Structure 1
Amino acid sequence: METPGRRERKKAATRQALADAALKLFLERGYDQVSIRDIAEAADVSTTTLFKHFPGKEALVFDESEDREANLIAAVRQRPEDQGVVEALREYVLATWLPLTAHPQYAGFTALVSGTPALQEYGERMWTRHAKSLGAAIAEDAGVDSDDIACHALARFVLDIPALTRGRQDPRNDVERIFDLLERGWR
């Protein structure tokens, strides 16, 4: 794997600084009380620079969306030959979702998104897009039509796991139970 050059590192650092500043301000003041200008100033960049990295205010909250979609698809396409799709997605969710639930800002982030209609709508559009891409990757892997309903249903179920397990007592156990259901069906 090639190490990113200085320019790419600077772009990534600026993007991260913007996302961090936005989340900090949103958690402190509330989403609707923070302007794009406030975020740019907190990250010490211009609003033009902010818009080079993010299409709008909502995107600052879901700053890892593109990476997450690519990683979900990679979990399907780059899994070991002897591993099934459901098991690969289980490993991905356990490795990525559970650590987020332990993050100190997790409760605040969840309350922010849950309490802000614009963020709820944006999040739903984002997850729908992810479900379409993941469903197509699962279908390609299974050798069926890209719009296969079972493949898209599996993608939606997997993507709903964070919402289903959010705030629950034992999220690891809940994630495992959901994947057991997906793998073995209802008993």
Structure 2
Amino acid sequence: MDRTDRAAPGGRRARKKAATRQALADTALRLFMERGYDQVGVREIAEVADVSVSTLFNYFPDGKEALVFDEDAGNEAALVNAVTDRPPGQTIPEALRAHFTAFVTSPHTRDPRFAELQQLVQQTPALREYARTMALRHENALARALADQTGRPHDDLLCAAYARFTLETLAFAGSRPDPVAAIDQACLLLDQGWTTTVAPHGHDPA
């Protein structure tokens, strides 16, 4: 192999590893959707993807559940980066609103198969539990980033609460006909607070 190609971050080896990882995830999801999560084992996934079981676990050490959530690490990093790498002058609420809007309007999220995946997760106890643990990990990562950006301690309750309620906007938006409008309104409420958002419209803010 050419030394330059091997050393480059996007070189042939990196591309091959990424392709193998994607093939494993795609194969697993297809089999899960066809026959059900509990009816498919890691050995079968490896055989259909034409790799060894040990290779599968090298890419997905957490096993079957991780194959469904293969973008977990990238999603968490993107969430944190939305806060830590936001453009000068952009507030944290603005950065998170932009990040969530980009997510719900992405081709991946708008693909009908994404809804089928969400349904599979909700119907499978092991996947629901993995999703809950994953969401908590993302929440904690976001809370730490918020604390670092505002000079607060990592156990700050305000940052923890904001991280939790902000991430809930994605689930809220996913249940609405217009996800972008749902994110706008949820983020407006979180940014300005209940009293300042609702009271001007003549409703009791209590």
Alignment RMSD: 1.3
Higher relative contact order (CA 8 A, sep 6+): 1
Q: Using the TM superposition, give the Cα deviation of residue 45 of structure 1 relative to its aligned residue in structure 2, in angstroms.
A: 0.8
- 1:98 and 1:167 map into 2 onto residues whose CA distance is 14
Structure 1: runs of 5 or more not aligned: none
Q: Using the TM superposition, give the Cα deviation of residue 97 of structure 1 relative to its aligned residue in structure 2, in angstroms.
A: 2.8
> Paired residue for 2:140, among 127, 132, 143?
132
- 2:44 and 2:186 map into 1 onto residues whose CA distance is 41
- 1:31-74, Cα deviation, whole Å (9 max, x unpaired): 11111012112211111110000021000011000011111111
Structure 2: runs of 5 or more not aligned: 1-7, 199-206
Percentage of identical aligned residues:
51
Could you list the structure 1 runs, at least 4 aligned residues long, displaced by more than 3 angstroms after superposition.
Answer: none
Answer yes or no: is the 8 Å Cα contact 2:24–2:49 preserved in 1: yes
What is the aligned partner in structure 1 of residue 171 from structure 2? 163
Residues matched between the structures, number: 186
What is the aligned partner in structure 1 of residue 4 from structure 2? none
- 2:125 and 2:176 map into 1 onto residues whose CA distance is 22
Relative distance call for 1:107 and 1:9 in structure 2 (3 A) is same
- 1:32 is aligned to 2:38: yes
> Paired residue for 1:120, among 128, 133, 143?
128
- 1:79 is aligned to 2:76: no
- 1:48 and 1:75 map into 2 onto residues whose CA distance is 35
- 1:92-140, Cα deviation, whole Å (9 max, x unpaired): 1111233244112022111100100100000000110111111000110
- 1:43 is aligned to 2:49: yes
TM-score (norm 1): 0.94
Q: Using the TM superposition, give the Cα deviation of residue 166 of structure 1 relative to its aligned residue in structure 2, in angstroms.
A: 2.4
Q: Using the TM superposition, give the Cα deviation of residue 3 of structure 1 relative to its aligned residue in structure 2, in angstroms.
A: 4.3
> Paired residue for 1:7, among 3, 13, 28?
13
- 1:14 and 1:149 map into 2 onto residues whose CA distance is 41
